[in-house]
Amino acid sequence: MSEYIPSPTGWVAEQVELYEGSGGKEGTTLRGMPVIIVTNRGRRTGATRKTPLMRVADGANYVLVASRGGAPTHPVWYYNLKADPSVEIRDGTEVTAMRVREVDDASERARLWALSVEAYPPYDEYQEKTDRTIPVFLAEPV
Ligand code: F42
C-alpha cells in the first residue's frame, strides 16, 4: 500500500478519519444524507487518496459526481480517476473493489444525473452555479 496523503481541506480529512476510523459506523453523512469514501491513487504522487462523495447508488453500482460544490474547475480527483480508474468504495461497513468510467453518453448521463439529484438535491444548484458540465462517473464492481 502506498502512503496515504489526507485531503488538505480540514473538514474533508476529518470526515475521512471518522468514517474510516470507525469502520464505517460514524461520520457517514453530510447534511443528513449518506456519504461513501472513494480510495484512489494520485496521478502524480502515486499516493493513496481518500475522497468522500455523496452516496448515489444504481443497483450494485455507484454514481460519482465531480461537482466540487459548483466550483468553476473540476476537482483534482477527477483527473486522478481518469488516469487510474481502479478504486475501492466504502459504503458504511462494506468495502468493494470497483472500476470507474466517465459517462459520456447523453442519455445514460441524463438518467444518472436524475438519480444523483434525487439522492442529493443540491447537485442541481451546483450545476446552475457553474459553466462547466459537471462530470459523472459510474463505478462498477470489478
Ligand atoms: N465533492 C464532490 O465533488 N462531489 C461530492 O459529491 C462530494 C461529497 C462530499 C461529501 C462529504 C465530504 O466530506 C466531502 C464531499 N466532497 C464532494 C468534497 C470532496 O471530498 C473533495 O474534497 C472535493 O471534491 C475537492 O476535491 P479535490 O481533489 O479537488 O481536492 C483538493 C482540495 C485536493 O485534495 N487537492 C490536493 C492538494 O494537495 O492540493 C491534490 C491532491 C491530489 O490528488 N494530488 C494528485 C497526486 O498525484 O497525489 C496530483 C493531482 C494533479 O493532477 O496534480
What is the pTM for the complete model shown?
0.97
Give, as one character, the DSSP assignment of residue 89. E
70: left (phi over 0), alpha (psi -120 to 50) or beta: left
Q: What H or E segment, with its residue span, contains residue 10?
A: helix 10-21
Q: Residue with the nearest Cα to atom 9 of ligand 1? A: 53
Q: What H or E segment, with its residue span, contains residue 124?
A: helix 122-129
Q: What is the DSSP string of 96-120?
A: EEEEEEE---HHHHHHHHHHHHHH-
d(CA 50, CA 64): 13
What per-residue confidence (pLDDT) applies to 40? 97
Is there a contact between 103 and 136 (Cβ–Cβ < 8 Å)? yes
To test ligand 1's pocket by mutation, which of 5, 7, 28, 80 has the most ligand atoms within 8 angstroms of CB?
A: 7
Cell numbers standing for residue 24? 464505517
pLDDT, tens digit, 9 for 90 and up, residues 34-55: 999 999 999 999 999 999 999 9
Domains of the chain (ranges plus CATH)? 10-141 (2.30.110.10)
> Where residue 1 falls among pLDDT bands split at 50, 70, 90?
low
Rounded distance from Cα 110 to ligand 1 centre (Å)? 24
pLDDT, tens digit, 9 for 90 and up, residues 113-126: 999 999 999 999 99
Q: Residue with the nearest Cα to atom 44 of ligand 1? A: 42
What per-residue confidence (pLDDT) applies to 76? 98
- Which atom of ligand 1 lies at the shortest distance from residue 7's CA? 34
Nearest by Cα to 33 from 139, 127, 116: 116
Residue 119: CB within 6 Å of ligand 1? no
Q: How many CA atoms are closer than 13 Å to the CA of 37, on its beta-carbon side?
A: 28
pLDDT, tens digit, 9 for 90 and up, residues 61-95: 999 999 999 999 999 999 999 999 999 999 999 99
